[in-house]
Amino acid sequence: MIKFEKVFKRYPGGFEALSDVSFSVEKGELVFVTGHSGAGKSTLLKLILALESVSSGNICVADLSLKDLSRRQIPKLRQRIGTVFQDHQLLTRQTVADNVALPLKISNFPKFEADRRVRAALDKVGLLSKASYFPPMLSSGEQQRVGIARAVVNRPSIILADEPTGNLDPDLSADIMQVFQQFQKVGVALLIASHDINLVNAMGCRTLVLENGRLLK
């Protein structure tokens, strides 16, 4: 589902954020990306979302070669990926339910089906009772869970998560990881960037370790 082939990413000024990175994540696989701050985890996720372009090498995501991707195809790529952002990226002037429903609105889902899926997603992250709240009324952890509900509501084939449990307590972190595992079981490919070594070890999944833009294992 995700394939990196000798990917290099250099920023103007010569800084090399990723250097000769090759790996793949298959359907139904949950893979962690770890590394210190500045190791290249966020750059890696940005490349998958086509927020940045590769300097050399190629990335294939859900059978799409990002090198050949036109501007018009980028939204279609992002619609196939459910993304949990570290800084939540919620619309503050829309309710929790409306935020979660956004990917469904973009995909023109029937309202009835969308409402059902939104309720189910919010129920999974324990926020059904706060569906009519606005994001600023929620704690950072709750906002993170809204972001997770939004990422999974469209039942994407790939889920990317940047520090998804960074603002959550251990119990909630475990619950969220369970949600991710449920998606893994039905064939979704998950790539999770995290520096929470305890969580990574507890999950016992394949782990990619980045250091100074290079993949160590």
Partner 1 sequence: MTSTFSAPSNRLQQHVVDLRQAWQGMLTRPIATLSTLLAIATTLLVPILLLTISSGLTQALDPYSNSPRLTAYLIDTSDEAMMGVVSKRLLAREDIGVVEVVPKESAFAEFANISGFGDLLGELESNPLPDALIISALQLDFTQLERLAVELGAFPEIDLVQLDAQWIRRLQGFTQLIKKFGLLIGLAALLGFFLVIVNTTKLIVQQSEDEIRVLKLIGAPDTFILRPFLYSGLAYGFFVAVLAFILQFAIIAAFGSLIDEFLLKYNASLPAQVDFSLGFTWLLFLLLASSFTGLLAAGVSAYQEILKLEP
Which two structure tokens, joined as six digits, stand for 34? 């770890």
Is residue 106 near partner 1 by the rule CB under 8 A? Answer: yes
- Contact residue for partner 1 among 26, 65, 185, 187 (CB under 8 A): 187
- Give the nearest distance from C-beta 217 to partner 1 in angstroms: 29
Is residue 135 near partner 1 by the rule CB under 8 A? Answer: no
- Contact residue for partner 1 among 45, 118, 188, 193 (CB under 8 A): 188
Is residue 185 near partner 1 by the rule CB under 8 A? Answer: no
Using an 8 Å Cβ cutoff, are 199 and 177 in contact?
Answer: yes
- Give the nearest distance from C-beta 132 to partner 1 in angstroms: 16
Is residue 164 near partner 1 by the rule CB under 8 A? Answer: no
Give exposure, 90-122, as e/b (b: 16+ Cβ within 10 Å). beeeebbbbbbbbbbeeeebeeeebeebbeebb
d(CA 213, CA 18): 4
- Give the nearest distance from C-beta 103 to partner 1 in angstroms: 6
Is residue 102 near partner 1 by the rule CB under 8 A? Answer: yes
Is residue 105 near partner 1 by the rule CB under 8 A? Answer: yes
Count of Cβ atoms closer than 10 Å to residue 130 Cβ: 18
Using an 8 Å Cβ cutoff, are 10 and 55 in contact?
Answer: yes
Nearest to 158 by CA among 41, 77, 90: 77
DSSP per position, 61-80: ETTEEGGG--GGGHHHHHHH
Of 7 and 153, nearer to partner 1 (C-beta) is: 153
Site string (45-84) toward partner 1, x via CB under 8 A: ----x-x----------x---------x--xxxxxxx-x-
Is residue 85 near partner 1 by the rule CB under 8 A? Answer: yes
Using an 8 Å Cβ cutoff, are 152 and 82 in contact?
Answer: yes
Q: Using CB under 8 A as the criterion, which residues of the chain lie in contact with partner 1 when the complex forms?
A: 49, 51, 62, 72, 75-81, 83, 85, 89-93, 102-111, 150, 154-157, 186-188
